[in-house]
Structure 1
């Protein structure tokens, strides 16, 4: 499929579109994700405390509420609402950047929260495998004390693979990790994370769809799930740390066919203070699948 200039111009009419949603930081999603990741409960449900929400766990809130009749063939809401109606079949979370501007104002259990989302840009690129459309969405999340989180979310749309498409040459992962954790991405784990984030995208739980329609070898591990595991590794390896900045980029899909490993090491070369952490995920063959940087307060 080739994207015509008039189509690109039409999609760019979505730039500046804004959506505002409200939610509350409740206990149940936190403990459900903790159970899904094989952690102990983080909050005592009978006596909930003002626990600071772990970084990236805000993705448990502000969930989409598209009605069943509004769902498209890939499991996502039909296109043309808040997001532009990009006429390419594959949609992926390509990466993002997050900033916590006020360390004294974390999101806490019980907080009433507001998210303001804005389409910042819609850009077209011609890649080796065809046209790509990148949509940049900016989110600001506030609680009763003010701004708590700024997030830029990169979404990429692409065509289905062609029969003669050559695979992208993989990148070897770094070999200097100080902290590591190996994850076995079972189909139950992927299903539970999809359920917790109300994500109907069939590539994460429908094996027939992902292999026969989208042409992948197995179920795809959610990019946000991998990013969450990267940040959790940093939090669990460095006591009492909080994040100031985190950015990540998906390099290569991870599938449920084999374990993968999340890794981290302080970047002493660029930051002698030890507050900049290089973080990445690698597959069972040692190929880089996600690259990230965490900056601590």
Structure 2
């Protein structure tokens, strides 16, 4: 069924925040993020840890295993005869107004913010508000944008977002292992087959292997950013620039913008520094 007005679509997901679920994620990565071992316990989620919660479980999925109801052909009549071959996370932004406390039930309210076409690709942006229903308070707002495309996967080595990388500081490294990628999909109830089904990823979407989830790489980069800054981050913007294969080791790089007092962090390939995977900008604490 094609929706005549996609902005009327609404999804509601309730979840109970759990310290143990966050620890399951930390156990997944703590062998590489040694600064997590000395991190003092807190009673709430840090920014981006909400990615581990509030994930929809509806069974109406496309052939690629992801949610059919946010595909362009479902949202707008002009796309009804067009089936896109691939979809990926393109970018997003998060503002945290209040921390989400552990062992509390919160509600995530989602709707399609907009659908835009650009150079043959289509971008679908989803607005997500996490609220405390009892207090009628909004705690966090997230905008996530997915790109739908028929292009063949190819690496992008021309990075306009990051220049003069030789002057930037490498603050750490991280390797994305195959089983960690698969286990992250399990932790986040992510059904998208490009993250766990190698046959589908290679034969149907023409990747060389499964690829890292956008939320996974963003969580890793944010953890490094918070560790460097030494204070919680309350707002951020990120942009995915390349897909990441299992076994890839990335450098975590820092650039401080003295003009507007923002921090800029990015992931680049440790073997091919011209290849940048993810760009993150956060405001000063």
Q: State the TM bucket, normalised to the shorter chain.
A: 0.7 to 0.9
Contact 1:245 1:296 in 2 (8 A): no
Matched, 1:140 2:133: no
Query: Structure 2 CA distance, aligned partners of 1:12 and 1:261?
Result: 45
Map 1:250-269 → 2, pairs under 5 A: 250-269=240-259
Query: Structure 2 CA distance, aligned partners of 1:30 and 1:243?
Result: 17
Structure 1 residue 160 displacement after superposition = 4.7
Structure 1 residue 189 displacement after superposition = 0.9
Match for residue 99 of structure 1?
A: 95
Give unmatched runs, 5+ long, in structure 2.
none
Match for residue 84 of structure 2?
A: 88
The one-character-per-residue Cα deviations of 1:74-116 (angstroms, maximum 9, x if unpaired) are 1223x13798626212111111011123xxx311112221111
User: In the superposition, relative to structure 1, how do residues 280 and 50 fare at CA in structure 2: closer, same or farther (>3 Å)?
Assistant: closer
Matched, 1:193 2:179: no
Query: Structure 1 CA distance, aligned partners of 2:131 and 2:121?
Result: 32
Contact 1:100 1:148 in 2 (8 A): yes
Match for residue 32 of structure 1?
A: 24
User: In the superposition, relative to structure 1, how do residues 177 and 153 fare at CA in structure 2: closer, same or farther (>3 Å)?
Assistant: same
The one-character-per-residue Cα deviations of 1:29-53 (angstroms, maximum 9, x if unpaired) are 1111001112567999xxxx86120
Matched, 1:15 2:16: no
Match for residue 6 of structure 1?
A: none
Query: Structure 2 CA distance, aligned partners of 1:121 and 1:109?
Result: 32
Structure 1 residue 217 displacement after superposition = 1.8
3-state SS of paired residue (2:8):
coil
Matched, 1:114 2:107: yes
Match for residue 5 of structure 1?
A: none
Structure 1 residue 265 displacement after superposition = 3.1
User: In the superposition, relative to structure 1, how do residues 84 and 109 fare at CA in structure 2: closer, same or farther (>3 Å)?
Assistant: farther
Contact 1:250 1:289 in 2 (8 A): yes
Map 1:98-247 → 2, pairs under 5 A: 98-101=94-97, 105-125=98-118, 127=119, 131-143=120-132, 144-145=134-135, 146-161=137-152, 168-171=156-159, 174-239=165-230, 241-247=231-237
Give unmatched runs, 5+ long, in structure 1.
1-9
Structure 1 residue 233 displacement after superposition = 0.5
Structure 1 residue 66 displacement after superposition = 2.5
Match for residue 7 of structure 1?
A: none
Structure 1 residue 167 displacement after superposition = 6.0
Provide the aligned C-alpha RMSD in A. Answer: 2.8
2:263 to 274, 277, 281: 277
Query: Structure 2 CA distance, aligned partners of 1:73 and 1:96?
Result: 25
User: In the superposition, relative to structure 1, how do residues 201 and 230 fare at CA in structure 2: closer, same or farther (>3 Å)?
Assistant: same
Deviates more, 1:255-264 or 1:168-177: 168-177
Structure 1 residue 244 displacement after superposition = 2.8
Deviates more, 1:11-20 or 1:116-125: 11-20
Matched, 1:288 2:276: yes
Query: Structure 2 CA distance, aligned partners of 1:190 and 1:215?
Result: 18
How many residues matched?
Answer: 267
User: In the superposition, relative to structure 1, how do residues 124 and 12 fare at CA in structure 2: closer, same or farther (>3 Å)?
Assistant: farther
